[in-house]
Amino acid sequence: MRGLGELESKVMDVLWDAAEPLRVRQVLDRLADPRPLAYTTIMTILDNLHGKGLVRRERAGRAYEYLPAETRAEVGARLLRDVLDSSGHAESVLLHFARSASPAETDILRRALRKRRDPS
């Protein structure tokens, strides 16, 4: 994910894949990382992600439980919007993307455009 470090991205993946809010220990236990990671490292990562507005946290006794502030799809769409807005060449970016899209992705885009034209 753009703007996030490797470990931050892995932590976000764990949260997105979870069916419920997770405590620091649960995130640590679910991380697929070949390096041994400290509890305090994951606690700091989650605190940083909270500060960036990417995760929400709720008190659960003396600890916090963390959950994503947005879905993976919402974050991806926001990042794409940021790229389009900052490029100054949204048409070129979209055309390059369209040319690189797989047949399945092209079908998704066509269906979305048809829905937009005919919302009924």
Query: Over the chain, what HEC string results?
Result: CCCCCHHHHHHHHHHHHCCCCECHHHHHHHCCCCCCCCHHHHHHHHHHHHHCCCEEEEEECCEEEEEECCCHHHHHHHHHHHHHHHHCCHHHHHHHHHHHCCHHHHHHHHHHHHHHHCCC
Residue 10 lies in a domain: yes
Range of the domain at 89: 72-117
pLDDT-derived band at 76, boundaries 50, 70, 90: confident
Residue 1 lies in a domain: no
pLDDT-derived band at 2, boundaries 50, 70, 90: low
Residue 46 lies in a domain: yes
Q: Could you tell me the pTM of the whole model?
A: 0.79
Judge if 58 and 83 occupy the same domain.
Answer: no
Per-residue model confidence (pLDDT) at position 33: 79
Judge if 19 and 32 occupy the same domain.
Answer: yes
Which of 52, 68, 84 is where one domain is finished? 68
Residue 79 lies in a domain: yes
How many structural domains comprise the chain? 2
